Structure 1
Amino acid sequence: MAERLLSGDVAPDFSLPAADGSTVSLKDFAGSNVVVYFYPAASTPGCTTQACDFRDNLASLAAAGYTVLGISPDSVAKLRKFADAEELTFPLLSDEDHAVAEAWGAWGEKKNYGKVYEGLIRSTVVVGPDGLVHLAQYNVRATGHVAKLRKDLGVH
C-alpha cells in the first residue's frame, strides 16, 4: 500500500489531463489553498453525491480561499460526461494509471463484500499555500464528507 501523506509533508506535484481538455498541475496553484479529493469512479452513486456536495459548497470554499480539484482513474471522456451531466464547475482530473493516487497514498487495498482488491481509496488532502499538506483524510465517506471538511477547515 502507498504511504499516506501526513500534515507537514510536501504535497507531490502532478500534471494531469482535465475533463475540459486542459492540463492541470498542482504547481498552477502555488500560493493557494487546494482541496485535492480522490474518488473511485465518475457517475456512480457515492461519487456523484460527493461531487455534487463539492459543487454545492464551492462558493463558500472559494470565499474562504480554497480551490477544489477532483481526481479519479476515469478517462477524460468519462469525466467530461460526468461534469456535464452534474454541472460540475471545478476541475476533474484523469489519473488512469493511478500514479498520482499512489503518490498521494490514495491507492491501496480495499475490501468489498469480502473480496480484497487494489483500488482507489476515497481520500481528501488539503494543500496549503506553502505546498505542504495541512490536512489528509483517508477512507472518507461520500455522504457528509464535504460538511465535515468545511467544519475541519473552519469554513462557514
Structure 2
Amino acid sequence: MSIKPLICAALQSKSSVLILLGIKGTTGSHTAPIDSGSSANFIDRQYACQLSLPFTELSSPWEVLGIKEVWDAVHFNCTLNMTVETHSFTSTSFCLPLGDRDIILGFPWLKQAGPDIDWPSTTLKLPEPLSSKSASITRSTPLFKVPPEYLEFSKVFGEEFFSS
C-alpha cells in the first residue's frame, strides 16, 4: 500500500486568507494562512521548537511536495491545541521548513472548522457554535388522544400532578 504524498500549496503563493490563532501553552497570537490546496496542516520546525511544542516521530518519513515543486520528507508532527476567535481546535501538524510561514492550516483544518470564506475579500467567518444556538419545538396537535375511559385519570399524567 503506498501513501499519497502530502501537498503544501501555500508555499507556492503569497496571497492567502490569513487568520490569527492562539496556541495553548504559548503567549501572543500567531498568524496562519488558510490553504485549501494543502493536504495537511504544517508548522515550521524551528517555530515549533521556539514554542517548545512536543514532537512525535513518524514511524516512517512522509514525502511532501512543497515550494517550487521541491520534494521534502517529514519525520515529525506535533499536536496543536488552538483557538480561533472563540472556537477551539485540535490539529495534527507536520513539521517541515516553511520559509517565511510559521503555520499553514490546510484542508484538514478547513474540514474541521467548516468556515464560510469570502475569497474575493479574503475574509473568513466561523460558524456559530451549536451550544450557543437555541431551538424550540412546538406542537400544533397532540401526539395522541387519550381514550375516553382514561380521561378521569388525566390529572395523574398532567404537569400539575408532578409539580405539586
Alignment TM-score, normalising by the size of structure 2: 0.28
Comparing both structures, which one devotes a greater share of its residues to helix?
1
Q: Tell me which of the two structures has the higher relative contact order, counting C-alpha pairs closer than 8 angstroms and 6 or more residues apart.
A: 1
Alignment TM-score, normalising by the size of structure 1: 0.29
